[in-house]
Structure 1
């Protein structure tokens, strides 16, 4: 199997482990997943202490489960069309992408190369939602519909945030090394979104210095590169539509 295929298999087993009876017939055993992850780590980072990384990953799993439970509840409570939390887990693209992100983020946080990025791209190809594994996301996160959402590497998102389709949390510009002209990596490039924020479809929020204050609403198709204070409602003022009769 290719590296991507092996990561996809690992991801499927992790989903079975997190949601037994929903993905697969039974919970995939921790020993199987650990062995797969050990072999992958040995291939992508031969010098790493793979056993230590696997132990650290499993140590983070209770917190991952707790956060995912809040995400699933937020999705169920936040969509009147949702009939059950099981439906949210199986059929909704946003919670699927969030689940994969929370797993990939733990590996990213541990310094594991390549594997977290492949996991995020597998979710991207399935859902149309692109979340970099470096993004930090709080509890009760829900992406509704989801197609076209982009969340950059250094984005920080608080609790109880809801995004709709087509939202971009991106970089405004890229800092360059004054001598070589190469892009400078590892700097804050993407926005902060505080607690209890809703960002509606097609909105674009850019820049590492940009903060959306808590309890705010960002309207559809808004373009923002400046911070807004808490309890703000931001929207575009559009001309009224022209309605003409087709009657003869």
Structure 2
């Protein structure tokens, strides 16, 4: 095949489907600007809200989706939720400070904790998800995933004072419901028991009630699975059915140590 035919074939397949990666790049820039608007002391809120509106409109123009609400109405509704989002994120930061003995200051939480950053981008993306904005919320949380190793689907519902410690490897599915004062450690998965496209509109991921702690590498699966309030799930536990409130669940491995005597 000559060069011209190769180029023609590449162009033909490249358009199936049509992808404009500027949307991805601009979404990441929008996400950064949004985060700095909420938290950076040197970023002027009034100026940045106008900038963010322009960026949002550009994103919607590039996406070319027909939504019931016009872009301006969507944006005005979204920014009306930002004070509550910021209040919730401040509660998340306080929860981390109060629970982690390694945290030395509240500033450290905001600037150096990947779990907090992942939660922040999730909360900012979730409101757009609730408004029915397609793709952009998922690209926002995927941006945070790439930076932190935490994969939170923007459709998940997460309550107040949420704490992810160490962060890396945490996965929270689209229909997961997490209530208040929940703590997760690295490697925790809140996933689906079955993976099939016809389950798209069903609740596939577990519910975690108030004051639950889930330790490293625990896996909790299934839309009907509920972990009751005040429970503790130990590391490496595999759970596919509900846990009553005030329970302790743990995986008990068999560990053998063989010591060779000194010769």
Q: Which band: TM-score by shorter chain?
A: over 0.9
Could you tell me whether the CA contact under 8 Å between 1:20 and 1:26 is conserved in 2?
Answer: yes
Find out whether 1:37 has 2:56 as its counterpart.
Answer: yes
After TM superposition, give the deviation of residue 46 of structure 1 in Å: 4.1
In 1: Cα distance, 2:206 partner to 2:26 partner: 33
User: For structure 1, which runs of at least 5 residues remain unmatched after alignment?
Assistant: 176-181
1:139 to 157, 160, 173: 160
In 2: Cα distance, 1:246 partner to 1:201 partner: 34
2:246 to 231, 236, 245: 231
1:104-143 matches, within 5 Å, as 104-143=125-164
Question: Which stretch of the first structure deviates more once superposed, 91-100 or 46-55?
Answer: 46-55
In 1: Cα distance, 2:261 partner to 2:59 partner: 63
Partner SS for 1:205: strand
Could you tell me whether the CA contact under 8 Å between 1:198 and 1:218 is conserved in 2?
Answer: yes
After TM superposition, give the deviation of residue 240 of structure 1 in Å: 4.1
Partner SS for 2:190: strand
Output the aligned Cα RMSD. 1.4
Find out whether 1:244 has 2:243 as its counterpart.
Answer: no
After TM superposition, give the deviation of residue 43 of structure 1 in Å: 2.0
Find out whether 1:71 has 2:92 as its counterpart.
Answer: yes
Q: Which TM-score applies when normalising by structure 1?
A: 0.92
Q: Name the one with the larger helix percent.
A: 2
2:43 to 22, 26, 29: 26
Question: Which stretch of the first structure deviates more once superposed, 37-46 or 64-73?
Answer: 37-46
After TM superposition, give the deviation of residue 62 of structure 1 in Å: 1.4
1:168-187 matches, within 5 Å, as 168-174=189-195, 182-187=197-202
Number of residue pairs the alignment of both structures matches: 239
Residue aligning to 1:210: 225
Partner SS for 2:220: strand
Partner SS for 1:169: strand
After TM superposition, give the deviation of residue 245 of structure 1 in Å: 4.6
User: For structure 2, which runs of at least 5 residues remain unmatched after alignment?
Assistant: 1-20
1:79-90 matches, within 5 Å, as 79-90=100-111
